[in-house]
């Protein structure tokens, strides 16, 4: 009898915390990479109630510290986010959401455009057997929307992409084309044959 009451008491703070989790989402998810839906981490919750209470108490404390590492941030010259769906109204709303999110986070938006839709049509026989003259036609429409962002750092890109992908509606697929810029690596600055002229050249 004691067990369910104890669990009930702790359910209430859990509900409050998870209710507030909508704006604390990214902090607990340091592991997931941008191109994966993090259903894996969430599925741990119902299986092990004790550990979920542990995370609940952890989240209710002050926000997790932001770690700053020494390694240099990647620089993305261009980030092309293209979404496709069967419904253009859903893409309209999603575009509004993505552009507003980019503006709020201070990301420069290059251009937002709509590539022409693809229609795949097929004409099939209506009946299972014979009746060749009677057919039925189906079509599948795929609408696209592209958002081009420029001059983003690696951390900002991770945050933005994760936020965008978590809120991707059902039935919408996304492709993100990232163009990272790098310096010429040190070992390509000079040919190494200059330093060692007496070395035997292989492949004679």
Element (H, E) at 1: none
Q: Which of 59, 94, 145, 147 binds another protein (CB under 8 A)?
A: 94
| Closest to 79 (Cα-Cα) out of 146, 33, 144, 148 | 148
The smaller minimum CB distance to another protein, of residues 111 and 190, is found at: 190
**Near another protein in 27-46, by CB under 8 A:** 27, 34-37, 39, 42, 45-46
The answer for residues whose C-beta is within 8 angstroms of residue 162's C-beta and 6 or more apart is 26, 29, 32, 34
Q: What is the DSSP string of 92-109?
A: HHHHHHHHHHHHHHTPEE
Number of shown-chain residues binding another protein (CB under 8 A): 86
How buried is residue 106: exposed, middle or buried, by Cβ count under 10 Å (0-12/13-18/19+)?
A: exposed
The smaller minimum CB distance to another protein, of residues 57 and 179, is found at: 179
Q: Which of 13, 97, 142, 148 binds another protein (CB under 8 A)?
A: 97
| Closest to 123 (Cα-Cα) out of 112, 141, 136 | 136
Write down the least CB distance from residue 135 to another protein, Å.
Answer: 25
Q: Which of 13, 88, 101, 112 binds another protein (CB under 8 A)?
A: 101
Binding of another protein by 191 (CB under 8 A): yes
Q: Which of 13, 88, 144, 176 binds another protein (CB under 8 A)?
A: 176
**Near another protein in 104-123, by CB under 8 A:** 104-106
Written as six digits, the tokens of 31 are 């592991």
């Amino acid at each position: 009898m004691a067990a369910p009451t104890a669990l009930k008491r702790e359910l209430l703070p859990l509900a409050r915390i998870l209710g507030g989790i909508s704006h604390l989402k990214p902090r607990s998810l340091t592991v997931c990479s941008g191109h994966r839906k993090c259903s894996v981490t969430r599925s741990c919750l119902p299986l092990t109630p004790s550990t979920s209470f542990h995370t609940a108490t952890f989240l209710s404390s002050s926000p997790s510290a932001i770690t700053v590492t020494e390694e240099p941030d990647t620089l993305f010259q261009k980030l092309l986010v293209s979404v496709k769906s069967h419904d253009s109204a859903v893409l309209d709303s999603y575009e509004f959401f993505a552009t507003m999110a980019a503006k709020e986070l201070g990301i420069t938006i290059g251009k937002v455009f709509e590539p022409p839709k693809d229609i795949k049509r097929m004409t099939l026989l209506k009946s299972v057997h014979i009746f060749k003259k009677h057919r039925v036609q189906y079509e599948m429409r795929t609408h696209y929307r592209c958002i081009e962002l420029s001059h983003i750092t690696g951390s900002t890109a991770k945050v933005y992409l994760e936020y965008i992908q978590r809120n991707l509606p059902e039935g919408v697929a996304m492709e993100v084309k990232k163009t990272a810029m790098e310096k010429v690596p040190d070992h390509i600055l000079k040919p190494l044959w200059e330093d060692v002229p007496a070395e035997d050249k292989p492949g004679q």
